[in-house]
Structure 1
Amino acid sequence: MDQWDFKKWRKKLGINQVAAGEMLGLSRGAVQNWENEIRPVPRSVELACLELLRRWKQRPEFGPVTLLYADGPVLQADTIPHSDLVLRCEPHPDNESAVSRVARLRESLNLHMAFIAEDDGTVIWSCPELLQECDARERGYSRRTEIEAPISTGGRSRRGHRP
């Protein structure tokens, strides 16, 4: 990740340098150093940015997305007849629609696998995350508060101490 990739990431999320630093558990100065090419963006920060972007895409209004699920066990293709493959794909306008669909499917099916991907195939919600989100919604809670928590990159905090 170079300075331009980092800046594109920040602009995509619609955040300023201060907010980017806070999300990464670092100072605004660190962000400025990367964007001004004083220091290269560390690999740990690049990975944290990718995870924060994925979490950002978990917003209810993000879309369009595709829900992929299996209503039976997914076995090796050579052990079952081709007519019995059970992977289903459903387009949805946003995450809210797809997650709600999973919640409804769980009432009538024994889901063996379900995940939500964006149009390019990038997974936004893994199966465990998706099922946890459905459970949380049943209890009147959403993972969104957890998603907005900062990710520590292992660097120094603003006070000069390791987090």
Structure 2
Amino acid sequence: MTPEDFKAWRKTMGFTQKDAGAALGITKWAIENYERGVRRDDGRPVVIPKTVALACSAIACRLEPWRADFSPEEPVSQFEGRYQPFQSPPRKR
């Protein structure tokens, strides 16, 4: 997830930076760093962790946190063909 993708997600969700931090369980300062792509204090690059990128997707899909007693309402086979599996981009040679 790029800083531009992250900011687009936040704006699409209608979140302020403070709201996005609360939704993701991280600070407003982390949100600012992710959107800027570099740390404010020393200019080092910031990589948005995969866990944060996945949490953004989960929030956008209105998923709730996982529970041990989770039971899908539809069998897994009902989802076949509805969702495209994630494919990593081809490696550069």
Shorter-chain-normalised TM-score: which range? 0.5 to 0.7
CA RMSD of aligned residues (A): 2.6
Q: Which residue does the alignment assign to 1:50?
A: 57
How far off is 1:34 after superposition? Answer: 0.6
CA distance in 1, matches of 2:16, 2:27: 12
CA distance in 1, matches of 2:27, 2:75: 40
Between structures 1 and 2, the one with greater strand share: 1
What is the number of equivalent residue pairs in this alignment?
Answer: 65
Q: Which of the two has higher C-alpha Rg?
A: 1
Q: Which residue does the alignment assign to 1:6?
A: 6
> 1:5-44 maps to which residues of 2 (within 5 A)?
5-38=5-38, 39-44=46-51
TM-score by length of 1: 0.35
TM-score by length of 2: 0.60
Specify the SS of the correspondent of 2:15: coil
Q: Which runs of 5+ in 2 are unaligned?
A: 39-45, 64-72, 85-93
Taking only the aligned residue pairs, the percentage that are identical comes to 34
How far off is 1:8 after superposition? Answer: 1.0
Q: Which runs of 5+ in 1 are unaligned?
A: 57-110, 124-163
